Structure 1
Amino acid sequence: MALSPSGNRNAVGLRNQTDRIEDAGHGPLSWYERISARAATTREVELLRLPAGVPVQRILRTSTSPAGRVCEVNATSMSAELYEIGYPVERARPSD
């Protein structure tokens, strides 16, 4: 197990990947997500045990440092038949 910057092994155990990347000096991170739906690949049908003809939804999330460095890319594929993707949308505040 890697040590946290403080040298305390226990401090790392409860922290997530984002915390560790930011602790290494790459934060605060920003994220960009791309959400798509498409036909499943042969491998996805096998791994996700999808019935014939069921599409997948894909979330591609990129974590970027303030310097513009890509620190993490996470691709998640899921059955479009079983999962719904939702999140709040906030209204931008008009500038004065």
Structure 2
Amino acid sequence: MASTKANHARLKTPSEFGSRGLRGADAFSNSLLRQALMAIAQSEKEQNAQAGRAWLKNELENYWDKRQTIMELLRYLSTTEHIDHMQHWESPAMYAKYLVELLRNDGV
């Protein structure tokens, strides 16, 4: 959570997560959701979704086996784009959409 203050609670964006906690001991640090968030953060940082795809391919073991699941996670995250009280998620949602398309069209 980016804020837990009453009436101001909101989820962190991928950029707010950054690389903090990656490869940690807890289950979230090593989850596919965390990896998808990091790919979005990399895409935003470079302003290029190909950076996020490259990150996934370089960092994930068995990228090809996990690709469909990652795409579903990214599709879900992309639905935050038009939620009125989540304007801070517009850019991450856009990059999530871009990543879905890049992964869908990815080939060996």
TM-score when scaled to structure 1?
0.23
Between Structure 1 and Structure 2, the one with more helix by share is 2
TM-score when scaled to structure 2?
0.21
